[in-house]
Structure formats: structure tokens, C-alpha cells
Amino acid sequence: MIRVTSNFDSGSIDVIDASDAANIRLKLRPDNASDFAQWFHFRLSGARDVDCSLKIENAGQSAYPDGWPDYQAVASYDRENWFRVETEYDGQTLTINHTPQTDVIWFAYFEPYSWERHQTLIGNAITASPWVKLEQLGVTPDGHDFDLLRIGVQKGYYGINKKKVWVTARQHPGESMAEWFVEGLLETLLDPQNPIARALLEKCVFYVVPNMNPDGSVRGNLRTNAKGANLNREWQTPTLERSPEVYWVREKMKQVGVDAFFDIHGDEAIPHNFVAGCESNESFSCRQHDLQEAFKKAWLAASPDFQVEHGYEVGKFGPETLTLGTNWVGNEFDCLAYTVEMPFKDTANRPLPEVGWNGERSTQFGSSMLSALYAIVEQI
């Protein structure tokens, strides 16, 4: 008997009818307290060696329908090794065609990053170095720990204050590549034999929030927290009732300061890695412009997976601009502030069709950002 289920960490799908393997009818499930729908993560069992056609019938009404053309879903037999599978989009229905080789297979919008793996990430970081401290900024509405990792000491040689570098990820919980990115960044930063990491920690203290939206991540939401808030539109006026996650981070930033900020995301439609800065801010300064240009040049030199030809148009967010994390931080602290975007699809400039853009490539990209930061650290 064929079964489609999603009652697990980050699981999300609605089943219309799974009685016919050639026409398994599914629907995207919206976030628990909003209308955003795009993330899916489910298990198919009982279909070994059966040609299956899984049809997500409301893909055309998803949050970002432009994300479906040229998109290939991901699948795994063991939840460790994920690969891309044949996927078609006709303007309304997203169809996944696959013949499972085992009794059970998992499908997802992107390679998931589980809450359990988040716990391992925190444990690995804390035990990697005595310079890593965990601060629990709060407990989310669903009862999850809200973790901040401080890496390094706040004063360097002769009592000189170090630069404060902030990295936040996964404000939008369905953008799981963001936490993979942070995993790679932390692995490199905490490698005691890595010369770039050692040099950066002599000059900087890092504040890293690996998962800004634990509730949404576990619930299988695309964009929002348990209260229905799109956290990356809450930075101007966050509240403890609706967006405590942003409120806690903002308060900590105001307490310790910010010299550089990187907010890690994923983009549904654009098949490239890119950054979006603070050009739309009225307060955007010549110093910020020079820092942005220097950082982009440094990252281009550090990673062939980075590019600057494709990205968002300046002014894309209009009156919402200062509600975004990057723009609020850049305006508040007059510092280098960038949103980092990675694709749900493959990268068009350097594709790997078997896996597309995935967790491993995201970790390597996260590691490479430290090389770019090192190149400009004296300027921030």
C-alpha cells in the first residue's frame, strides 16, 4: 500500500489521493499561521520499483511560482544523501516522476537541515574551542531554545576592542541552505589550524545565530514563525508577542554593536549565489558603498560559486526596505551589511545536475565567505 506522510521534523504536504501510483495527488501546505506555501518535505512508502508520478496540484498558487521552472526536487533513501529527481512544471502542477529503489524514500524542496542536526551543530561548536560561548537569548513560542554563539573574546591585544561580526541564518525557515552555510562557516572558523580563521579571531568577535526561526523550521513553514510573522519584515518594530526572535537579536546588537552583518537566505527563482546590500537606504554612505564593493571583489576572488551579474534590483523592497534585517542594521550601525542569497535550484554558472545546489555546496560557500571577510577586515 502506497502511503505519503509528513508527520516529522520540517515535514509538510497535504495528500488528496495516493491510491494510484501514476497519479499521486498532493497539495502544498501553507505555513501554520499565514498563506505562504512552497516548502514540502514528505515520505513515500510502499512503492518500491513502481513508476510514481507525484503531482503537487497547487504549485501555481504558491508563494513564488517563478521558482518552479527549471526546478528539480530533491530525494533521499537514507536522509543523508540527497539527489535531484525528474521534475516538471506546466504552469499549475509540479510533477515529480521517480521509480523508488527501496521501500521508502523522502522528497523535499531542498535538502533539509533538521532541528536534531542543529543540536549537534551547537554541541560541536561549544566543544571545539574554549573561546565559544553559548547564549540562550530566549525561548520561542513553541518552546525551542533560541541560540546565539559568541566566538572569540571582545578585547584583543592591549585591550583594543575587536570588530563585531554578526551572522544570522534562516529567518525564513524553508531556506535550509542558510543553516548549511553556517555549518561550513563554523567548521572553518573553529579549525585551530586554519590560518584565516586564526587571523580573523585575532581581530574579530563573531556573533552567530544559526537558526533565527526554530519554530517555523520544525513546523515545516516556508517564511514565517509560529505566530505568522515574516521575520525579515519585522526589524523596524519587532515585538515580544509577534516576533520575539528579531526582538532578542536587535537588543543584543544594540548592547554589543555591529561592524559587519551577514544575513543568510535562499532565493526560489534566481539560479545564482549573490548578495543584496543597503543601496536603497537613504542613509547609505560612501563608506558603506566602498565596503560593499571591496567585499564583493574579495568574494569573487575567494569562490567561483559567487557572482555579481545576477541578483535583486536596487529598490526591490520599496517602503518595506527598513523592515529587512540587512537594511535596518546598515541604517542603525552604518556598517557593512549584506543579505547572502543561494538558490533552491542549481547554479546556472557552475551546475552539478545530479545534486544541484545542496547542503555540501552551501557549507563550502559558507567557508569561503571567511576568506572574503579576511581580505577586508582592516576596513570594517
**Of 157, 183, 158, residue with least CA distance to 170:** 183
Which residue(s) pair with 288 in the sheet? none
**What b-and-e string marks burial along 159-175, b requiring 16 or more CB atoms within 10 Å of the CB?**
eeebbbbbbbbbbbbbb
User: 341, 354, 360, 378: which is the annotated catalytic residue?
Assistant: 341
Phi, psi at residue 263, to the nearest 5°?
A: -110, 120
**Nearest one of 119, 124, 114 to 151, comparing CA atoms:** 124
260-267 and 163-169 beta bridge pairing: parallel
What distances in angstroms separate CA 46 from CA 4, 42, 169, one per listed residue?
9, 14, 36
Q: Pairing mode, if any, of strands 52-56 and 94-98? A: antiparallel
Q: Are strands 74-76 and 145-151 parallel, antiparallel or unpaired?
A: unpaired
Enumerate the H helices of 228-358 as residue ranges: 244-256, 286-302, 325-333
- Whether 354 is catalytic is no
Map residue 75 onto helix, strand or coil: strand
Residue 123, C-beta contacts closer than 8 angstroms, at least 6 positions apart = none
Hey, what's the cell of 214? 526554530
* Number of alpha helices (DSSP H) and beta strands (DSSP E) in the chain: 8, 17
Q: Are 17 and 24 in contact (CB under 8 A)?
A: yes
- Torsional sign, CA 359, 361, 362, 368: positive
- DSSP per position, 260-285: EEEEEEEESS--S-EEE-STTSTT--
Q: Is the dihedral of CA 291, 297, 302, 308 positive or negative?
A: positive
Alpha-carbon distance of 226 to 332, in angstroms, equals 27
Active site residues: 341
